[in-house]
Amino acid sequence: MQATRLFGIGDTRTVTLERPEPGPGEVLVRVEAAGICGTDRHLHKGEFPSAPPLTLGHEFCGVIDAHGPGVVAPALGTRITCDPNIACGTCPQCLRGRVNLCQSLVAIGVHRDGGFADYAVIPAHRALPLPASLDPRYGAFCEPLACCLHGVDLGAPIPGERVIVLGGGVIGMLTAQLARLAGAEVMLLTRQREKRDLALALGASTTAASPEEALALWPGGADLVIECAGVAETVAAAPALTRTGGRIVIQGVLAQGERVEIEPFDLLFREIQMHFAFLNPFTQGRAAAMIAEGRILVAPLISRTISLAEAPEAISNPPRPGEVKVLILPG
């Protein structure tokens, strides 16, 4: 089979491997679609902790092709989404219910082989069933939507509030839809005109190309600002875009070691709450249901589809102008 693997910093290649066999408690998934995430680019550049050599890919959908010993479900032939984060269940954080902060967390596609391959082996309990009728390309959006749900849960927008979403990538587009479904008035801020137009088509109330333009449109700022770009500039801009007494959620992933300057006195004096959203604790099932029911639009977010052979080039370069999500279709 073909697999796109990270061998070291700046070294991502598609190679030929033996098809893996599922062990006890595991299933073999024939991968149908997998999304390239900003984290995959961080991994390629050595900006996010990982354990190469390994097959990348933590956002994927596929069909159960074989059971390992002791596994009876999901049934063979079931379309599934992979919840890639495996918590130990016994450490202090897990026992507090903070499974995303597990001290022994293992992430598929980061610490063990993932879904940028024709086949992937995952624990059976990380395979969540999807409708057989669902387009598998849509199933690949369950994991990023689950992360967005966690961020929106922390920000807790309510009907009538104003929400500014910073960033026009897939996380920003999904988050904007979730905030709109919560009844909020949503502004999406991104420099790229194509993405601003897409945000309006997906239900955003308005858009802005810069923080200055955003404050001109909403002089008081927003009740909630959600940073989805993973860029130091937008993280630093978030407080000024937040109204007094408001909330900030940092959801984008910056490179490990990167620093951002903020003014604690301003956050204190205006009592701004600042939260950080990491991974998808207990939200993957909700995300799968929302996509299966068509409550979140993902088809307009697919910028292009590529093969495994083309994956290294896409991972090692920044997204193209206007690009939202690139999907790998194995085979």
Mean pLDDT score across all residues of the chain: 97
Q: Are 59 and 24 a contacting pair, CB within 8 Å?
A: no
Query: What's the CATH code, domain 148-276?
Result: 3.40.50.720
Q: What are the catalytic residues?
A: 39, 42
Please give the pLDDT value at position 170: 98
CA distances from 245 to 40, 124, 221, 224, 242 (A): 35, 44, 11, 10, 8
> For 190-227, what is each residue's pLDDT tens digit?
999 999 999 999 999 999 999 999 999 999 999 999 99
- Report, in angstroms and rounded to the nearest whole number, the Rg of the chain calculated over CA atoms: 20
With bands split at pLDDT 50, 70 and 90, how would you rate the model's confidence at 60? very high
CA distance 249 to 325: 22
With bands split at pLDDT 50, 70 and 90, how would you rate the model's confidence at 237? very high
Please give the pLDDT value at position 249: 98
Secondary-structure percent of the chain, ordered helix, strand, coil, rounded to 5: 30, 30, 45
Q: In the chain, which segments carry CATH 3.40.50.720?
A: 148-276
pLDDT exceeds 90 at position 25: yes
Can you tell me whether residue 151 is helix, strand or coil? helix
Q: Are 199 and 168 a contacting pair, CB within 8 Å?
A: yes
The pair phi, psi for residue 230, each rounded to 5°, is: 70, 40
> For 278-294, what is each residue's pLDDT tens digit?
999 999 999 999 999 99
CA distance 38 to 63: 25
Q: In the chain, which segments carry CATH 3.90.180.10?
A: 2-141+298-328
Structure token pair of residue 321:
């102008």
Please give the pLDDT value at position 310: 98
CA distance 47 to 154: 26
Q: Are 275 and 250 a contacting pair, CB within 8 Å?
A: yes
Cβ neighbors of 322 (< 8 A, separation 6 or more) are 192, 194, 195, 303
Please give the pLDDT value at position 331: 85
CA distance 327 to 158: 33
Could you say which architecture CATH assigns to the domain 2-141+298-328?
Alpha-Beta Complex (3.90)
H-assigned helices in the chain: 38-44, 92-95, 136-139, 142-155, 170-181, 193-201, 211-217, 232-237, 264-269, 284-292, 311-316
pLDDT exceeds 90 at position 256: no
